[in-house]
Amino acid sequence: MGYRLVLDKVSYKYPGQTQYAISDITIEFIPGIIYGVIGSNGAGKTTLLKITGLLYKPLKGKILLNGKDPWRNNIEHYRRRTVYVHEKPVMLRTTVYNNLLYPLKLREIPRGEAHKRIQSIAHTLGLSHILEEKAHKLSTGQKQLVGIARALLVDPDIIALDEPFSNLDFTKKKLVTSLLRKLSSKGKTIIVSSHDTLTIEKTSDQLIVLEKGKIICKGPTKETIKFLYEGNSSCSDN
C-alpha cells in the first residue's frame, strides 16, 4: 500500500529567520505519480522536500500520511518509510559496498538479503564496478549515484530527491529516471526537485513551480513547462 501525502497550509521558517522559507503550501502527493519541483535559487524547493522527508516539522499547518499526522503519532515509524536524498550525500570513509550496506544493517536486514539488494541496485545504476572503491574518493556524480542507491535500498514508500540529476551524465540521468518510473509504477510516492527542465520534463508527471516559498503554478508537467516558457497559456491548476 502506498502513502498519500498531504501538506495542508504548511509553512516553515528556519530558526532565527524572520521570513518564511515556504508558506501556506497545500498539495497532495499521490502514489504512482512522479512530482517535479522547480523554482529559482532560494524558492524553497529543498525546504519543501525536507518537510515531505520528515526532516523538518511544519511551523504552521500540517502534514498527513494516509490521513495521519506523523508528528502527532509515531514519527520514527513514518521516518522508516520515508527518505530525503541530499544533492551532495555524505559518504562514510569506507567502500561503496559498506556505504550501501550501512542502512540495511541499521534496519537489521539479513546479510544474504542485503547482499542481493546491493548487487541488484548496483547493477541497475551502473555501480557494480566501483563497489570495492573508497566512497569518499569517488567523483561528485558517482557519490550522488551512491547516495541515491543507498536511499532506495531500504525500499521506502515516500522518496524525496533533491536535485538528483545535478552531477549526472546523460546516461546516468536516464538510468535514474527509468528506475524512478519503475518505483512509481509500484506505488511509491516520488518528489524530485531540479533545475534541469529537460530532465524533469522526462521524469515527472506533475510539476510544482515554487517562487519565494509559494506555489505559483502546478499541473501536468508538459503543460506547466509550456506555460512557463510561453507564458500565454494559463497555468492549469494553481
Which residues here bind ligand ATP, judged by CB under 6 A? 14, 17, 21, 39, 41-47
Of the two residues 174 and 195, which places its CB atom closer to Mg ion in the complex?
Answer: 195
Output 36 or 39, the one with its CB closest to ligand ATP.
39
- Taking residues 22 to 61 in sequence order and writing x for each that binds Mg ion by CB under 5 A, - otherwise, the string is -----------------------xx---------------
- CA-derived radius of gyration, the chain: 18
Residue closest to Mg ion when measured from CB atoms: 46
Q: What is the rounded end-to-end Cα distance, in angstroms, of the chain?
A: 29
> In angstroms, rounded to a whole number, what is the distance separating the alpha carbons of residues 50 and 64?
14
- At residue 51, the 3 state secondary structure works out as helix
Q: How far is the CB of 49 from ligand ATP (least distance, A)?
A: 8
Min dist. Cβ of residue 135 to ligand ATP (A): 24
CB–CB of 26/237 below 8 Å? no
Residue 119 — φ and ψ, nearest 5°? -60, -40
> Which amino acid belongs to residue 223?
E
The alpha carbon of residue 104 and the mean position of all alpha carbons in its chain are separated, in whole angstroms, by 19
Name the binder of 39 from Mg ion, ligand ATP, none, CB < 5-8 A by kind.
ligand ATP
Q: What residue 21 binds from Mg ion, ligand ATP, none (CB within 5 to 8 A, per partner kind)?
A: ligand ATP
Least distance in Å: CB of 47 to ligand ATP? 3
CA gap 79, 60 in Å, rounded: 20
Residues that bind Mg ion (CB under 5 A): 45-46
